[in-house]
Chains A and B, each alone.
Chain A
Amino acid sequence: MSNGNRQVLTGHQVVANAMRQVDPDVVAAYPITPQSEIVEYFSKFVADGKVDSEVITVESEHSAMSACVGSSAAGARTMTATASQGLALMLEIVYIAASMRAPIVMTVANRALSGPINIHCDHSDSMAARDSGVIQIYGEDAQEAYDFTLMAQRLAENEDVLLPVMVTLDGFTLTHTAQVAELLPDDTVTDFVGEYEPLYPLLDVDNPTTQGPFDMPDYYFEHKLQQVEAMNNVPEKFLEVQEEFSDLSDREYSGLFESYRLDDADYAIVLLGSTAGTAKVVVDELRDKGKKVGLLKPWMFRPFPAEEMKEALKEKEAVAVFDRSLSFGSSGPLYLEVSSALSHEDNKPRLYNYTYGLGGRDIAEGHIAEVFEDLENPDLESKMHYINART
């Protein structure tokens, strides 16, 4: 199943291997489609003695994240994975993990939130966690999910950051598709992630600490400002980690988002996750026909790279922002961010919001090509547009 360094692996297998190579002290998780196989593969690695981690099987995701917070506070390198309802149930404790500055790395296999109940991909689960204080990185394919899981470890544990990191990959589209990926050698990853040295390990009995205490109005605000500062430190640290990772992997990562044929484009699409791959194919086809089109794919959604994105988009003619989740009664979350980033520009591009892919609704090349065609129309309505939905 391998050819040189290349292997055919599902997204599950790729993430489980990243976890094996990181060799966390503790993994606490609860199964949910489409995440389950990540932890199943990882548990097999543990059972086979390929990794020394302690896997804690718990009775819910709320407990999973609670165990992760306790383990991280104790000073253990800690990872977990979840999806959809699991993340929703976990969310209360994700806020606490962030506020306690627990550098937990978690995978989210993006899946629509109920109801109606649905197991397929959209981004409603991770978007619900966007204000929790967790760093969010979105991957386009299994390779990016692998690479970012490794980079996330370094980012989370950076002393100027110390925040949980969520790495997402689209459920089924990436988790259940066997695709070509390259894994780094185990010892390369070991060297890259290094030893974790916790700042305030609870198990350091010679230096006792109280963790997760109560705050009155006199300190809550200041503790939140600490989180703000940590989040502000993320972009610079992420770029440093990317540079180091690019050197050892021969894969090029340099930025908070990927610009694809964007520089001289008049028309651009902004979107997260696996659909970016399909959009690149469309961009290439339209470029062959002489159309000046491009793509901007944020890797990082939290913190949001507003300033950099403004520079990349401000001179475009028109921009379509694709959201794979709804914020009922408002625009999509990605659209609001892009719109806000451009708000002070005098000659900003025409800006449109498209909702797509809810509950696993497919989006094909033709749908994306139609949006680029839409963008050429200066009279295009600035209402919410729905792609491949029976409106």
Chain B
Amino acid sequence: MDIFLERLFDGVTNGAVYAIMALALVVVFRGTGTINFAQGEMALFTTYVAWALTTQDVPVWIAALVAAAIGFVLGAVTERTLIRPVRRRNDMATLVVALGLFTGFNALAGLLFNSETKTMPSLFPGGESDYVAVGGARLYWDALGVWLFVILVIGAVFWLFNRTRLGLHMRAVADNPESAALSGVPTGRILMLGWGLAGIIGSLAGVLVTPLSPHQLSLTTMFPILIYASAAALFGGLDSPIGAVVGGLVIGVLEMMITGYVEFIGGTLPQTAALVVIVLILLFRPTGLFGSRQMERL
């Protein structure tokens, strides 16, 4: 029972990270109608920067904030210079640009920080004895810290979208850019803000997940996270934040349970399994389990 609980805790912790990464993807999709394939690698890059700062004796929290700030700038600048000009052209162009960013950022991180695996210090106390006992299982502080942090982020995003004017503008732009523009909403700035926000969320995801074992900071760390986050986002048809969060948690828990209990699926096959499940969802419920049916005007 205690092993089950520990697996559950690990699953929820991982799931929480997938959830906020999925949120970042949803923010971008609602704003620009495309998925930012490069979200993971941009987060990787900012996490490397944060790591580099910690090696210079900068406190982890400050490093994390710097990473978030850089994530914001990267996101906003990318939207303005690379995505917006191409977006109206055709769907494929945006995806191709995102792919280019994916490759580019990964390689850039490798170039600047070399490919050795690094250890990223945690934002929370992560010692051997820093845990609380729950039902015979150990719930480590750093896991709990991640949960709380993620709840904060999710809460902040929901508050932003549903209770602030900025959030209202963002939803308007995502829904109908032309009408929003006509109503005086500064659509350009809103789009940049959206991507910037996604950049912050992604950076936070990176800083949160890399200290957790077995994740470490290396060039391949963020890719599986992106896969799981994409799968989680698809739970909500890419435009439902609730769906993304639920999806993330479900996937995180399932991953831990399956790798723990089922022999056949080991190593990195869970990623594939996650994607297969999503493909099946897309085939039978194309708008995801939580998303809204979208109508097209002809």
Q: Do A and B bind each other?
A: no
Chain B contact residues, CB within 8 Å of chain A: none
